Amino acid sequence: MWLSSELMFFAGLFAMYFTLRATSGEMWAIETEKLNVPFALANTIVLVSSSFTCQYGVFAAERLQARRTGGLLNVARWGMVEWFLLTFFLGAIFVSVQAYEYAILVSEGVSLSSNAYGSAFYITTGFHGLHVTGGLIAFLLIIGRAYVAKKFGHFEATSAIVTSYYWHFVDVVWIALFIIIYFLK
């Protein structure tokens, strides 16, 4: 139910974006030229790869393997904690790069209050960034819970799986946002 409400929230943001875009076509063409598509694509690849590392963490959780059973470099023996830490790291990179992109755009005159494009861009990507940050906090809670649990069991594994649903949802929303913002002219 909660993911459904999140889907409706982002549907509203998409509707806002398309409405503003439809009423401000010429400005949209000028402002989108300021976007660094290769930079954003690299950042998108980072976020999408985090979905894969998250899923490997889920596979480990389903095996009830909280932590690695081999050396740190032996990725095949990693547990949920190691995969979720890598996912956290990739998500943190994504948010940091997005903040850097914001700084560049602000220096080029694209701000939240500059025009309709700036408002639509920052509201849609900003709320997404807040959701990614929420996911990062959830990963830290799941990792902490794995360390506190005396025995990693089905309850902890289920929590990891549910967190992965949210993370995959956030990734899919970003793919849609990325295509709409960076590619649709």
At position 133, the amino acid (one-letter code) is: T
| Residues composing the chain | 185
**What confidence score (pLDDT) does residue 2 get?**
80
Rounded-to-integer distance, Cα 100 and Cα 20, Å = 25
The DSSP code for 61 is H
Rounded-to-integer distance, Cα 24 and Cα 174, Å = 23
Q: What domain count does the chain have? A: 1
Rounded-to-integer distance, Cα 124 and Cα 25, Å = 18
Rounded-to-integer distance, Cα 176 and Cα 158, Å = 27
Q: Note the pLDDT tens digit of each residue in 64-111.
A: 998 888 888 888 889 999 999 999 999 999 999 999 999 999 999 999
- Residue 49's CATH number: 1.20.120.80
Q: Note the pLDDT tens digit of each residue in 151-161.
A: 999 999 999 99
Average pLDDT, the chain: 94
**What confidence score (pLDDT) does residue 76 get?**
86
**What confidence score (pLDDT) does residue 75 get?**
83
Query: What are the φ/ψ torsions at residue 50 (nearest 5 degrees)?
Result: -65, -25
Structural domain range at position 122: 2-183
Structure-block tokens of residue 41: 């694509």
**What confidence score (pLDDT) does residue 72 get?**
84
Rounded-to-integer distance, Cα 159 and Cα 115, Å = 42
Q: Note the pLDDT tens digit of each residue in 11-55.
A: 999 999 999 899 988 898 899 999 999 999 999 999 999 999 999
Q: What angle do CA 4, 96, 25 make, to 5 degrees?
A: 65
Is the pLDDT assigned to residue 185 strictly greater than 80? no
Contact predicate 174/122, CB 8 Å? no
